[in-house]
Amino acid sequence: MSRDCLRPALPIFASIAISVVGWSGHVLLLPVALGFPILWSLAQTRLGAALVSAAYFLAASRGLPQGVATFYAADVWPGLLLWLCASLSFVAVHTVLWTKNSGVRPFRYLLAAVIMASPPFGITGWAHPVTAAGVLFPGWGWWGLGLMTAGLAGLVTRIWPAVAIALTGFWLWSAAIWTDPKLPEGWRGVDLELGASLGREAGLQRHRDMIATVRGAAGDGTRYVVLPESALGFWTPTVERLWTGAFSDGDATVITGAAMVDPAGYNNVLVAIDGKGNRILYRERMPVPGSMWQPWRSWFGGSVGAKSDFFANPVVSIGGGRAAPLICYEQLIVWPVLQSVLHDPDFIIAVGNGWWTDGTSIVSIQRAATTAWAKLFAKPLVIAFNT
């Protein structure tokens, strides 16, 4: 391949590389993704900006085709279609807002960043570079988010080398003193390895085993035990009586995932169960588009699948404190966590059911992103996943 042919492809290869490394699932590597705005700004044409954007997004979400194929027990083609469709909004926004005018380019990029962090485009706003704020500025809160925003704007100006050096300095300093978020006092998250059977195997023995797991996790100062998304399957009257009775005479409180079904669809929820009974603690704001949330089906008289309420219940009260719950997909996008943090919760609860992501980095990316946000705002973090 000649040098003239290779030169236009270099930004595309570079975009793939920074995306694969930045979104590898290692939290301290998230700042590598800040190379994307640099490559976007250095594009010579709108087509070049589109190709750089597509390379970045598709590489970041590379686990989606395999994950969808596993979820539906189908071949890879549905996953590839969803992968490409999900990239359209990211590519379109960054292509339309790209400009040769260096004077307005920072404003254009910031506008693209805001659009991809907010509904409706933010519904598929994965791999947002602003997530790295928690690594560069741990504990700085909204000031850190503001500095990260200013840094993103600086990376698309002519002085980007100086901005990149400054941000690298913050990165190295943070890596040298890094510690993971603490658990809230008295809380414990339980990871499970039950694969696709979690939430689908509804036998009495499975529920008894789960109850025994919770009892084993409680004690030694642990009063709140968190189980993963979908741990109880469907929240039926029988399941409700079984679990409420099991903890009616104890001090432990269980926070667990379940699904509540009605004729219009279902809600993906977190249920709190303790000696006083049970209550629906949280309803997921943004289920996975396509596989769970299917609003277009209502046009044909069908169920919408999992229901969404974009801005409902950003924080919930539990145990004398206020928590910001994030279920699965909400950990991959920006606006749910920022909406929750606006209400100043005491800690963050992150749960997921990632059995279908086996062989991909999706769960690791979810953990890394949630950890980064918890570190940015200095919030304790409880995580519970099933794989």
Give CATH for domain 187-386. 3.60.110.10
Buried b (16+ CB within 10 A) or exposed e, 263-302: eebbbbbbbbbbeeebeebbbbbbbbbbbbbbeeeeeeee
| Cis peptide leading into residue 120 (ω within 30°) | yes
The sheet with strand 321-327 has its strands ordered as 316-318, 321-327, 347-353, 381-386
Nearest to 232 by CA among 278, 187, 276: 278
32, 68 in Cβ contact below 8 A? no
Q: Which amino acid is at 50?
A: A
For 302, half-sphere exposure in the C-beta direction (CA atoms, 13 angstrom radius) is 9
How far is Cα 158 from Cα 139, in angstroms, rounded to an integer?
A: 30
Each residue's pLDDT expressed in tens, for the chain with a length of 387 residues? 556 656 778 999 999 999 999 999 999 999 999 999 999 999 999 999 999 999 999 999 998 888 877 776 666 776 787 788 889 999 999 999 999 999 999 999 999 999 999 999 999 999 999 999 999 999 999 999 999 999 999 999 999 999 999 999 999 999 999 999 999 999 999 999 999 999 888 889 999 999 999 999 998 889 999 999 999 999 999 999 999 999 988 889 999 999 999 888 899 999 999 999 999 999 999 998 877 887 877 777 677 788 888 899 999 999 889 999 999 999 999 999 999 999 999 999 999 999 988 889 999 999 999 999 999 999 999 999 999
Please name which of 116, 71, 123 lies closest in space to residue 93, comparing C-alpha atoms: 116
**What are the tokens at 329?**
């997909």
Nearest to 306 by CA among 229, 201, 386: 229
Domain spans, the chain: 3-177, 187-386
The one-letter amino acid code at 341 reads V
Parallel, antiparallel or unpaired: strands 321-327 and 316-318: antiparallel
The alpha-carbon radius of gyration of the chain (Å, integer) is 22
Position 74 scores a pLDDT of 64
The pLDDT assigned to 251 comes to 84
How many CB atoms within 10 Å of residue 206?
17
Q: What is the 3-state secondary structure (H, E, C) of the chain?
A: CCHHHHHHHHHHHHHHHHHHHHCCCCHHHHHHHHHHHHHHHHCCCHHHHHHHHHHHHHHHCCCHHHHHHHHHCCCCHHHHHHHHHHHHHHHHHHHHCCCCCCCCHHHHHHHHHHHHHCCCHHHHCCCCHHHHHHHHCCCCHHHHHHHHHHHHHHCCCCCHHHHHHHHHHHHHHHHHHCCCCCCCCCEEECCECCHHHCCCCCCHHHHHHHHHHHHHHCECCECEEECCCCCCCECCHHHHHHHHHHCCCCCCEEEEEEEEEECCEEEEEEEEEECCEEEEEEECCCCCECCCECHHHHHHCCCCEECCCCCCCCCEEECCEEEEEEEHHHHCCCHHHHHHHCCCCCEEEEEEECHHHCCCCHHHHHHHHHHHHHHHCCCCEEEEEEC
Q: How far apart are CA 149 and CA 130, in angstroms?
A: 7
State the virtual CA torsion across 169, 171, 173, 174 in degrees, nearest 10: 160
Give the pLDDT score at 305.
Answer: 82
Distance CA 27, CA 138 (A): 12
- Beta-bridge partner residues of 256: 271
